[in-house]
Amino acid sequence: MSDKSFIQKVLSISIPVALQSMLQSSFSMVDQIMVGQLGENSVAAVEIAGKPGFIYTFVIGAIGTITGIMISQYIGNHNREAEEKSICVNFLAMLITGLAFFLVLGFLRDEFAGMFTTEAQVIKESSGYLGIICWTFIPLGICNILGTALRCRDRSTWPLYIGIFSAQLNTALNYCLIFGNFGAPRLGVEGAAYASVISQVAAAFLFVLCFFRAYGRIHFSIRLGKAGYSQYFLMLLPIVLNEFFWSVGQSVNTYVYGHMGTNELAGMSLTGAVQGLTMGALGGLSQAAGILIGKRLGSDEYEEAYRESIKLCALGLAGSLIFSLLLVLTRKPYVQLFNVADDVREIGADILVAFAVLMPVKVQNMILGGGILRSGGKTKYVMLIDMMGTWLIGVPLALISGLYFRLPVVWVYFILSQEELARFIVSVIMFRSRKWMHTLH
C-alpha cells in the first residue's frame, strides 16, 4: 500500500471516529458548563457520580476492543462465519457486564458516593445522579459493540452521524431539564442524568437499525468450540481486568482529590471534558491502528503491519504537539466559562498546562497500547504494562503526594502522571520486540 493510499485509509477511519469523540466531548463540556452554573457542590457531585460510568465505559470499551480485533482479523482472512460469531459472543459479554454494573450500583450508590467525600450535600446530589445514570449502561454497551462492527465494515461515518444526533439531543434535554426551560421541571443535576438516559437509548436504537442495514440478517451463534473460547478468554480477560483496574486506579486519584478539598476536586473536574476533547481528536488514530494493523496481521502481512504502525505513531506525535500548544493558549478563556470561585478556575487552568505537557506521551500510549499492541490478540502484554504503570507508580505517587505531603493538586496530578512515561518506555520495548504480532485462527 502506497503512503498516499495508507493515509487515505487512516483518515477514512480516524476522522469520523475523532469527530464523533470530539463532538461527544464538546457536548459533554457544554453539559459540564451547565452543571457548573449550579455551583461547586454540583460539579463535585457529578464528578463523583460519573466514576462508575467511567469504569464501566472502559470495561465495555475493552469488550469493544476485542470485538474489533476479532472482526478485523476475520475480515482479513475472509471468514464471515467467525466474524458473525464474534459479534454475538461479545454482545452477550456486554449484556452480562452491563447488568452486573446496573444491579451493584443500583443498591450501593449512597455508599459509593460516601467513599469520595464527607459533605452531605455532595453525597445527596451524587447519589441521586448515580441512581438515574446507571440506566445508560446497557444502551451504551449496544452502541459500543455495534459501532465497532460498523467501523470494521468501513461504515465509520454512520456512528458519527448517530453520535451527532445523540449529543445534540442530550444537550437540548440538559438545557430543559437542568434549568426548567420550555415548561420542563427544574431537576438540577438529576436533569442531566435523565437527559443522558434518553439520548443514549435513542442512540442504541439507531445503532441497531444501522447494524442490520450494513450486515443484513446474520446467524446468531455463540458456538466457538473449546479452542475458540479458550482463545477468546485469553484475549478478553486480560483486557477487561486491565481496563477495570486502570479505571479503578483513576477513581483512587479522584478519592485523593476529593479528600484534598471540594475546590481541588471541582478544579480537576473542570478539565475532564476538555481533556476528553483533545484526546478524542486523536483517538481515531488508535481505532485506525486496531483495525488496519489487525487486518494486516489477519493476512499474515507482518512487515507491512510493523511499518504502518510506525507511521501511525508519527501522525499521533505531530497531532499531539499541535493540540498541546492550542490548549495552553486557550486555558484561561475556557475556565472563565464556569460559575465557580476564582481559585477553582486557577486550579483548572494550571492542571490544563500540566496535561498539555503530558499529552504527547499520553497519545503515544493510546496508539501503541490501545491499538497496535492489542491488534494481534495478545492482550496480556498491554495488561501487564498498564497495571505496572497504574498500581506500582501512579496510585502510590497520588497517595503519597496528595495525602501525605499535601502538595498542591496540580503537582499531585503531574507527579502521578509519570506513570505515562513508564508505560511508554515499556511499550516501545515491547513494540520493537514484535512479540505482539499474532494471527487468530
Tens-level pLDDT at each residue, the chain (441 residues): 566 778 888 888 788 877 777 666 665 566 666 766 776 677 677 767 677 777 787 788 878 888 888 888 888 778 888 888 888 888 998 999 999 988 887 777 777 777 766 677 777 777 778 888 889 889 999 998 999 899 888 887 898 899 889 888 988 998 898 888 888 888 877 888 888 899 999 999 999 999 999 888 888 877 777 777 787 888 878 877 887 788 788 878 888 887 888 788 788 878 877 887 788 888 888 888 888 888 888 888 899 999 999 999 999 999 999 999 999 999 999 888 877 788 889 999 999 999 999 999 999 999 998 889 888 777 888 888 988 999 999 999 999 998 889 899 999 999 999 999 999 999 999 999 998 888 876
pLDDT in tens, 225-267: 777 778 788 887 887 788 778 878 887 888 888 788 878 878 8
Could you give the C-alpha distances from 156 to 15, 140, 193, in angstroms and in order? Answer: 9, 17, 28
Nearest to 267 by CA among 208, 352, 200, 203: 352
CB 431 within 8 A of CB 368: yes
Task: Give the Cβ contact number of residue 107 at 10 Å.
Answer: 9
**Residue 389, burial from CB neighbour count under 10 angstroms (0-12, 13-18, 19+):** buried
- The residues, any chain, with a CB within 8 Å of residue 423's CB and separated by 6 or more, are 365, 369, 385, 386, 388, 389
The pTM of the full predicted model, rounded to 2 decimals, is: 0.72
Residue where the block lists cell 485523593:
256
